[in-house]
Homo-oligomer: A and B are copies of this chain.
Amino acid sequence: MMRRRFMGTTERAAELDAGVDETGRVDETGGARPLRGGRWHVGYTQARHGLRNYWYPALFSHEIEDGTFRTRRMLGENILFNRVDGTVLAVADSCVHHMVRLSAKPGGAESHVPGTVTCWYHGFTYDMRTGDLTGVLTQPDCPLIGRAKIASYPVAERQGVVFAWIGDDEPGPLEADVPPGFLGEDHKVVGLRRTIASNWRLGAENGFDPTHIYFHREAPIVTGTSRRMPLGLNMVPGKEPEFVSAGGRRGLVDMLRENYEPLYEAEVNGSVVKATGTHRSTTEEGSIWLPGVLKITKFLPDPEMTHFEWYVPIDEDRHDYVQMLVRPCANADEEKDFVAQYHGMWEQMFHRDGFNDQDIWARCALQEVFANEDEWSSEQLMKPDMALIHWRRLVHGHARGFQGPPRFAAPKDSVD
């Protein structure tokens, strides 16, 4: 059912999967192995344009009101979303006639009948559910009607988020493509998203990197709360991120408190550098999941708040950074309180300039380097970078498919 786009990868994937215990570790991660020349380069470079045959968050539900259209560019594909009678539908934003974007008209896509979209140029009209060409306003008996169609994208809306399936075949379960714990019935999701000028993989690498906490040491969320952030991390012998594969979901779980011993001071050229702050705190667990979503538990004072962040490819040099904070809420009052806390505090102090904005410029700094794919083989890594190696191997060996280069260049106004 799931196909890969490049010759040979399906067979290779099956071969690799043969050595995997669905509930445990992948055998190949038993120890640190030399990185240079490692075969993970192949699949990781193929992943430049994103991973195919996955569900991705496209919009927050509140971004698309009933009867309205929205566009997103995802993995290099221009997609047109439309909410019809409460349900979000999606088709390729490209008319079969002359391939213009259906949304190219100033003011956006047109619809004469709900559930259809009509091309502004010559009136080719498509069913938003199927993509079928169901009418041509300028030529009612055009023989293309009923024969031509544009691609339609499966859409799932859960937890206040609109997900689109970017793939070739019928979609798999959404559960397989989101981290465990995201879809809880009583979970309330708040968050935001923005366009970041880096490849999506650099978002993932920055997020899952255990030692990059170093550069957050002066973040307002740290200094403003006297939080004692480790300067560094020593790997506990025998411990490392664990490969998890269950129900089609594949990821890596890094038990941060168990796998690493925090360092609060270090000597540099004879001088001792010490961590500041007094409130010791380490995050419980960081995990990363295909197709590129990070989960962080117990980073905030309220241990029930869990952070998720997606790196959704837009183009090879941009990704949509989708940040979410999730908390189980027993009733409407709790939910209201959580939303108020988010907008009053955590949006600014965690998701924006209090913390995550630092990650954004780190990705942009990485982009200067890794825009050239050859640079992956120039790195000189250290032990805790094992987390990154595992991530790259996960992509190489377990991605369902790799997206190819885009057909159409990005429209100038493609991202909001």
Contact = CB atoms under 8 A, between A and B. Distances in A.
A198 B112 CA distance: 29
A312 B368 CA distance: 23
B134 A269 contact: yes
A227 B382 CA distance: 67
A6 interface: no
> For the complex, would chain A's binding face be called helix, strand, loop or mixed by DSSP majority?
loop
28 contacts: A97-B380, A97-B382, A98-B369, A99-B375, A100-B368, A105-B215, A105-B365, A112-B268, A113-B271, A121-B365, A122-B212, A122-B214, A123-B214, A123-B232, A123-B266, A125-B268, A127-B269, A134-B268, A135-B267, A137-B232, A137-B266, A137-B268, A138-B231, A139-B211, A139-B233, A148-B380, A368-B411, A372-B408
Contacts of A379: 96-99
A137 B382 contact: no
A118 B101 CA distance: 48
Contact of A273 (B134, B137, B380, B383): B137
A384 interface: yes
Indicate how many identical chains form the complex.
3
A156 interface: no
A124 to B, nearest CB: 9
Interface in A170-186: none
Interface residues of A, number: 71
Contact of A233 (B138, B148, B365, B409): B138
A378 interface: yes
Contact of A369 (B139, B212, B408): B408
Contacts of A211: 122-123, 138-139
Given A122-B214, A215-B120, A231-B123, A368 B268 contact: no
Nearest to A135: B268
Contacts of A148: 380
Interface in A386-416: 407-409, 411
A248 interface: no
Given A99-B375, A104-B368, A215-B121, A382 B139 contact: yes
A122 B271 contact: no
A364 B412 CA distance: 11
A43 to B, nearest CB: 19
Contacts of A231: 123, 137-138
Given A96-B380, A372-B407, 4 more contacts: A98-B366, A101-B368, A113-B268, A122-B215
A100 B367 CA distance: 9
A270 interface: yes
Contacts of A112: 268, 271, 273
Contact of A214 (B121, B273, B369, B407): B121
A300 interface: no
Nearest to A362: B121
A140 interface: yes
A340 interface: no
Contacts of A121: 212, 214-215, 362, 365
The CB with the most chain B CB atoms within 10 A, among A134, A137, A371, A411, is that of A137
A86 interface: no
A263 B141 CA distance: 12
A246 interface: no
